[in-house]
Structure 1
Amino acid sequence: MTRIVQIAPTIEPGSGVAGVAYALEQEFRAAGVPVERFTAADAGRTLARPHRTTFGMHLARAGNVVWFSTVGTRRAKRFLAERPDAISFTHNDVMAGDVYVNHGLLQAAMRARGNYAWRMVRNPVHLFTALRDRLRYRGRTHRAVVALTGQEARLLTEVYGRVRPPVTVIPNGVDVERFSPGDAAERAAVRRELGIADDTTVAVFIGHEFERKGLHLAIEALRMAPGVVLLVVGGSADMIRRAGAQARRVGVPERVVFAGERSDPVPLLRASDVLVLPSAYEANALVVLEALACGVPVVSTRVGFAPDIVVDGENGFLVDREAAPVGARLAELDGLDPEVREAWRARARATAEQHSWREVAARYLELARSIEAQRAPGRHARGRAAGDT
């Protein structure tokens, strides 16, 4: 029987890499497949997560990345060597495992934001990550690579020129039971908590990297959509302070509501009418699927999974990364009649229902079994499974 090991800094319910690994873990187990995990905690480190300042947040993340990429790699190899019959999926940092799941390309993200050379050299961890991943994709560390979208698979070749392991495209999924439309009472309660009127159109922005994800464009877009309130979820205190200052400069401070970090985005999505994501780069943008599953249309740039699932005029809009088109689409959605708006919500939900985690996990298991079949009979998988280069 196929056995799975998942390697990630953390594996827990929620969004992001940790949430993806957790969702896969649950589906593997539901399919009767034994699965283990190797996290930073299993490697002996408690990940630091200070969010009082932007600098502190970046410093903590940098330390976590370097530690799990180096010390974590050595310990992960020992862990896998004791499980030579397991197939391992690595999500971020560790240079070991049969399959590496590419949750994003640092160099592609930096290029999309502009001033690439300066962004790279001003942060030594960026240079460390670029070198690490060049070794990862050009070398023999992994047997296969998973890209979350076809666009991301193409970017791998553009960035590295040659990717030695074969690349398989498997998009992320969504928990369509957890992420689902709420009722009117829940919507009203969340809005009361946030001080937002029931009849106001709410555009929600969710993310911790305000600059890359384009919060400044969403705030500026409010000038073209006077009936819309922007609900901002995530960010450190410093990031929120700077975004608030921009809202005052633009003249819309009363229409920007900062919810801060929330462990569960579902109530906020259910209280919203549209997700706005004018991002410069996304490997997948799981939040797009989560919003659609909650019946929330999406206004997004052509990044990540959005071009594959957002259909203009049906479940959202794809826009250029400029404030004016974002604002025009928000204003258009704001002007919808209630019956028409409900039809948009139904189409958004129907889109997400086609991308359950069960189907995604089945594709990962198919990949795992193909790797098992490649192993020579009687040969221990110890060296390759442990990520030896």
Structure 2
Amino acid sequence: MRIGLVFNRFRSDGGTERITLNAFQALAQDNVDWVVLARNWGGPAEEGIEFVRCNPFSIGRAWRLLAFVRGVRKELKRIQVDWVQAQVHIPEADIFRADGGAHAEWIRQRRRVDRGVRGWLREVGPYHRLKQRMERRMYASDRLQAVICNSEMVKADIERHYPDCRATLHVIDYGIDLEHFERSDARANQGRELRRELGIAQNAPVFTYVGSGFERKGLATAIRALAKATESAHLIVVGRDSRLAGYRHLAERLGIPTRVHFMQAQSDVRPYLWAADALVHPALYEAFGLVILEAMAAGLPVIASTRTGAALALVDAPEKGSLHDALDVDGFAGAMTAIHNRDEAARAAARSACEQAAAPYTIDRMRSNLLAFYAGLQ
């Protein structure tokens, strides 16, 4: 099978990209070849993956998106594929992989923090209007056969915003290499070494935040919650954002600049998980949140928002963490303090519960589910 995969840009440190690479590797043994059409490629050079660059000259996000789509359409006429699987809203898609959820729902959630003139300008601006128009057009297309949803939350969002969509919605869970994230004694030492490098006491409560695009992933809530949690707590921030200076200023304004550690994006997030007592993820809207699964595979409880697909599926008991509204600073602060106050027996029970929750999410299960999905296409 030869699948044309439309992917806007492929970064090696992105969660969606990591799961896509897992899918490539899982299906490589089953004679599935991929032609990746993207603006740029940060993935590996592997057999069975062909990269076609679609990056015409453009200025501004809306023009860039339009130019990319035109470039994809031109290349799709040239290359031969059995199916077009898109992660960009194009009417030529046979399969759409909704790894980012529903853009209409993201806009709805963003209105909660984007009020006044700034919010209005963003909403009426060309980029988001274009994306919403493309999304509506794709879901109305007769060509679209199937939508791969990465969580039940995303499936429900699409059904709510696009009730006339005739494509079949499939929920296919992500899979990861669980052993890659497992916290052994030797790996726990890596976490302790990272604490030493950052000047964090070994007995201090540490919370890790992982995610680029700080507004969407709720970093402001995490920083404000840290300021209200136990005074010795630290927050390790792993990710990138063009407005990083504003978040540094927020930590300074709250009087906690030495307790918030900005680490930039990392290709390997594991040491930052092994150094932590819990993951904090107050996302405004997160279709799945691969780091939720990675953290629980590392034995970490998760404090996440109620609009995070993986957390809704995995955090179903208090020992595994807790769920809060993305803007509920007091709720996140209370949860951070509660995790710090656990005794050793409770910590051990939480680690075991989190590892057990992550255990079914294997690459083999994802591979089986994907093969069954592709075999069912007509």
| Alignment TM-score, normalising by the size of structure 1 | 0.84
**Structure 2 gaps, min length 5:** 41-50
Residues 13 and 258 (structure 1 numbering): CA distance in 2 closer, same or farther, change over 3 Å? closer
Partner Cα separation in structure 2 for residue 186 and residue 93 of structure 1: 41
Which amino acid in 1 is paired with 2:346?
V
Residues 44 and 330 (structure 1 numbering): CA distance in 2 closer, same or farther, change over 3 Å? same
- Three-state SS of the structure 2 residue aligned to 1:168 is strand
Partner Cα separation in structure 2 for residue 316 and residue 188 of structure 1: 22
**Structure 1 gaps, min length 5:** 49-58, 375-389
Residue in 2 that maps onto 1:378? none
Q: Does 1:291 align with 2:290?
A: no
Residue in 1 that maps onto 2:43? none
Please show how residues 370-385 of structure 1 align to structure 2 within 5 Å: 370-371=376-377, 374=378
Partner Cα separation in structure 2 for residue 367 and residue 119 of structure 1: 41
Residue in 2 that maps onto 1:35? 33
Residues 188 and 27 (structure 1 numbering): CA distance in 2 closer, same or farther, change over 3 Å? same
Q: How many residues align?
A: 355
Residue in 2 that maps onto 1:76? 76
Please show how residues 8-19 of structure 1 align to structure 2 within 5 Å: 8-10=7-9, 14-19=13-18
Contact 1:65 1:93 in 2 (8 A): no
- Three-state SS of the structure 2 residue aligned to 1:260 is coil
Which amino acid in 1 is paired with 2:87?
H
1:138-168, CA deviations, whole angstroms, 9 ceiling, x for partnerless residues?
1124211111222211211222231121111
The higher-RCO structure (CA 8 Å, 6+ apart) is 1
After TM superposition, give the deviation of residue 351 of structure 1 in Å. Answer: 1.2
After TM superposition, give the deviation of residue 45 of structure 1 in Å. Answer: 4.0
Partner Cα separation in structure 2 for residue 8 and residue 152 of structure 1: 19
Residues 97 and 122 (structure 1 numbering): CA distance in 2 closer, same or farther, change over 3 Å? closer
Contact 1:68 1:94 in 2 (8 A): no
Contact 1:224 1:328 in 2 (8 A): yes
Contact 2:54 2:71 in 1 (8 A): no
Residue in 1 that maps onto 2:363? 357
1:76-119, CA deviations, whole angstroms, 9 ceiling, x for partnerless residues?
3432xx23xx3443223554342111112222112112258726
Partner Cα separation in structure 2 for residue 234 and residue 47 of structure 1: 28
Contact 1:204 1:233 in 2 (8 A): yes
Contact 1:3 1:34 in 2 (8 A): yes
- Three-state SS of the structure 2 residue aligned to 1:314 is helix
1:24-73, CA deviations, whole angstroms, 9 ceiling, x for partnerless residues?
0100014x33322323253334699xxxxxxxxxx876665333322123
Residues 243 and 360 (structure 1 numbering): CA distance in 2 closer, same or farther, change over 3 Å? same
Residues 201 and 262 (structure 1 numbering): CA distance in 2 closer, same or farther, change over 3 Å? same
Residue in 1 that maps onto 2:85? 89
Residues 358 and 324 (structure 1 numbering): CA distance in 2 closer, same or farther, change over 3 Å? same
Which amino acid in 1 is paired with 2:319?
E
Which amino acid in 2 is paired with 1:366?
A
After TM superposition, give the deviation of residue 290 of structure 1 in Å. Answer: 1.1
Which amino acid in 1 is paired with 2:351?
R
Residues 247 and 107 (structure 1 numbering): CA distance in 2 closer, same or farther, change over 3 Å? same
Residue in 1 that maps onto 2:25? 26
Q: Select the residue among 170, 173, 190 that pairs with 1:171.
A: 173
Of 193-202 and 37-46, deviating more is 37-46
Partner Cα separation in structure 1 for residue 168 and residue 12 of structure 2: 29
Residues 76 and 38 (structure 1 numbering): CA distance in 2 closer, same or farther, change over 3 Å? farther
Residue in 2 that maps onto 1:65? 65
- Three-state SS of the structure 2 residue aligned to 1:167 is strand
Superposition CA RMSD, Å: 2.4
Residue in 2 that maps onto 1:315? 320
Residues 4 and 365 (structure 1 numbering): CA distance in 2 closer, same or farther, change over 3 Å? farther
Residue in 1 that maps onto 2:345? 339
Partner Cα separation in structure 1 for residue 167 and residue 301 of structure 2: 37
Residue in 2 that maps onto 1:55? none
After TM superposition, give the deviation of residue 14 of structure 1 in Å. Answer: 4.3
| Alignment TM-score, normalising by the size of structure 2 | 0.86
After TM superposition, give the deviation of residue 339 of structure 1 in Å. Answer: 3.3
Q: Does 1:106 align with 2:116?
A: no
Q: Does 1:187 align with 2:191?
A: yes
1:170-192, CA deviations, whole angstroms, 9 ceiling, x for partnerless residues?
12222213222242321122222
